[in-house]
Amino acid sequence: MGTIKTYSPYELKPSTPIHPGEILKDELESRGLSQRKFAAIIGVSYSVLNEVINGKRPISTEYALKIEAATGIPAYIWVNMQSAYDIQVTRCDNKFSVILDNIRRTAAIL
């Protein structure tokens, strides 16, 4: 039997990050709601909602609470998805990865 390699969290490479707007889009489709109708329900412009759904704008705490009020899906889920997405995007940034590697090397010798 071979040995199983374990990885530390910083060695894992994330898959392509999924913006929470994509999840919201799927949710609206499953409920049969258009983006225009949903935007009107939560009191934002269609263009703002469309930017969220297309990953061009983050789901803020305010938007998360509005989405919660309209769908019943807790706001913390939307905020957590946004945070996870932001972390994945940052981990994929090669320049930032170099900075993190330098920090790890420095911290390892302390």
pTM recorded for the entire structure: 0.79
Q: What is the pLDDT of residues 10-59, one digit of tens each?
A: 565 557 889 999 999 999 999 999 999 999 999 999 999 999 999 999 99
**Cα–Cα distance measured from residue 69 to residue 65, given in angstroms and rounded to the nearest whole number:** 6
Handedness of CA 26, 30, 36, 37 (dihedral sign): negative
Token duo for residue 58: 């983050």
Q: What is the pLDDT of residues 60-93, one digit of tens each?
A: 999 999 999 999 999 999 999 999 999 999 988 8
Q: Provide the pLDDT for residue 60.
A: 96
**Cα–Cα distance measured from residue 101 to residue 103, given in angstroms and rounded to the nearest whole number:** 5
* Average pLDDT value for residue range 84-110: 90
